[in-house]
């Protein structure tokens, strides 16, 4: 589970552990990671923290190796949740921002799937869940870089469903609307304004997104391949 030290990732790690998974909590921040792990263990769950900066390909590959080791040679579920979402005018976007966002949001999931999906396919089962955003579906001013990176993730979700699905690996995505997390804390009332455009009229909670991720990762979704599940208060539907 990448990006599990915060927000949606931390909530999902807790939920998956509650449902019996041994969760690898990945992120860069050891203090936050250890506290997520401690909370899971306090409730009787199984979790371990692995530090990795996913903008570096070698670090991504090392994470995949450590996940397999911790899982006793197997990884059944991969959740590509780590992401960054800098907003701003296209003309003010620097090359280094382009590289950093694509490295984390697109290349890291790509390398992790390349490292872990073949073994899942060989065993004939596994589930991969990618995190998208409503900005991947709807053109939004100031979100060209972020939205385009997640649009790539949505297409990759379908391409990987075609590639690995016939060998038993289900690949799906969750597309959240605005959710209050550590990462969106600075948005303040802008997040409420964005959320107000949707039928639900409010931001979602990390737990509401975690429920959708856990559904797609679990056997209840056994016939669901290549889906992008909007959990956005209805924003992209109206």
Ligand X SMILES: NC(=O)c1ccc[n+]([C@@H]2O[C@H](COP(=O)([O-])OP(=O)(O)OC[C@H]3O[C@@H](n4cnc5c(N)ncnc54)[C@H](OP(=O)(O)O)[C@@H]3O)[C@@H](O)[C@H]2O)c1
Q: Which of 51, 56, 62, 47 is nearest to 14 (CA)?
A: 47
Position with the least CB separation from ligand X: 183
In this structure, what token pair is assigned to residue 144? 């060209």
Phi, psi of 121, rounded to the nearest 5 degrees: -65, -40
Q: Which residues on neighbouring strands pair with residue 229, listed in sequence order?
A: 174
- Give phi and psi for 149, each to the nearest 5: -65, -40
Q: Which of 109, 126, 178, 233 binds ligand X (CB under 6 A)?
A: 178
Q: Using CB under 6 A, which of the segments 39-47, 161-169, 181-189, 211-219 binds ligand X? A: 181-189
Binding segment toward ligand X, per CB under 6 A, in 13-21, 23-31, 164-172, 219-227:
23-31
List, by residue number, the catalytic residues.
Answer: 146
Task: Give Cα 212 to chain centroid, integer Å.
Answer: 11
The token pair that represents 201 in the structure block: 């009229």
Contact region with ligand X (CB under 6 A), list: 22-30, 91-99, 111-119, 211-219: 22-30
Among 79, 101, 131, 217, binds ligand X (CB under 6 A): 131
Among 13, 50, 78, 133, binds ligand X (CB under 6 A): 133
Reference 175, options 198, 153, 142; nearest CA is 153
In the chain, how many H helices and how many E strands? 8, 6
The distance of Cα 35 from the centroid of its chain, to the nearest Å, equals 20
Residues 93-122 within binding reach of ligand X (CB under 6 A): 104
Asked if residue 81 binds ligand X (CB under 6 A), the reply is: yes
**Quick one: which of 18, 34, 48, 53 contacts ligand X (CB under 6 A)?**
53
Query: What is the full DSSP assignment across 125-189?
Result: -EEEEEE--GGGTS--TT-HHHHHHHHHHHHHHHHHHHHHGGGTEEEEEEEE--B--TTTGGGTH
Q: Is 183 in the site for ligand X (CB under 6 A)?
A: yes
With contacts defined by CB under 6 A, how many residues of the chain interact with ligand X?
A: 30
d(CA 150, CA 139): 12
> Exactly one of 22, 32, 123, 167 binds ligand X (CB under 6 A); which one?
32
The single residue among 22, 28, 61, 167 that binds ligand X, judged by CB under 6 A, is 28
Span interacting with ligand X, options 38-46, 111-119, 172-180, 220-228, rule CB under 6 A: 172-180
Distance CA 230, CA 228 (A): 6
147-166 residues in contact with ligand X (CB under 6 A) are none
| The one among 17, 50, 54, 216 contacting ligand X by CB under 6 A | 54
CB of 83 to ligand X, least distance (A): 2
Contact residues: ligand X, CB under 6 A: 3-9, 27-29, 32, 52-55, 81-85, 104, 131, 133, 176, 178-179, 181-184
């Amino acid at each position: 589970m990448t990006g599990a030290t915060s927000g949606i990732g931390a909530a999902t790690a807790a939920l998956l552990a509650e449902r019996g998974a041994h969760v690898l909590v990945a992120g860069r921040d050891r203090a936050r990671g250890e506290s997520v792990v401690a909370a899971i263990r306090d409730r009787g769950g199984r979790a371990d923290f692995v530090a990795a900066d996913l903008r570096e390909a070698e670090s991504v590959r090392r994470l995949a190796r450590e996940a397999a080791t911790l899982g006793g040679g197997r990884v059944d579920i991969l959740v590509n949740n780590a992401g960054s979402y800098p907003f701003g005018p296209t003309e003010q976007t620097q090359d280094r921002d382009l590289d950093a966002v694509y490295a984390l949001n697109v290349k890291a999931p790509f390398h992790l799937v390349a490292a872990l999906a073949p073994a899942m396919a060989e065993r004939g089962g596994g589930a991969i869940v990618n995190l998208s955003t409503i900005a991947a579906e709807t053109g939004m001013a100031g979100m060209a870089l972020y939205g385009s990176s997640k649009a790539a993730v949505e297409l990759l979700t379908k391409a990987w469903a075609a590639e690995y699905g016939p060998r038993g690996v289900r690949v799906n995505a969750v597309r959240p609307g605005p959710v209050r997390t550590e990462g969106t804390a600075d948005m303040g009332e802008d997040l409420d304004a964005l959320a107000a455009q949707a039928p639900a009229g409010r931001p979602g909670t990390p737990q509401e997104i975690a429920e959708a991720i856990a559904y797609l990762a679990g056997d209840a979704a056994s016939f669901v391949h290549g889906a992008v599940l909007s959990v956005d208060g209805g924003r992209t539907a109206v």
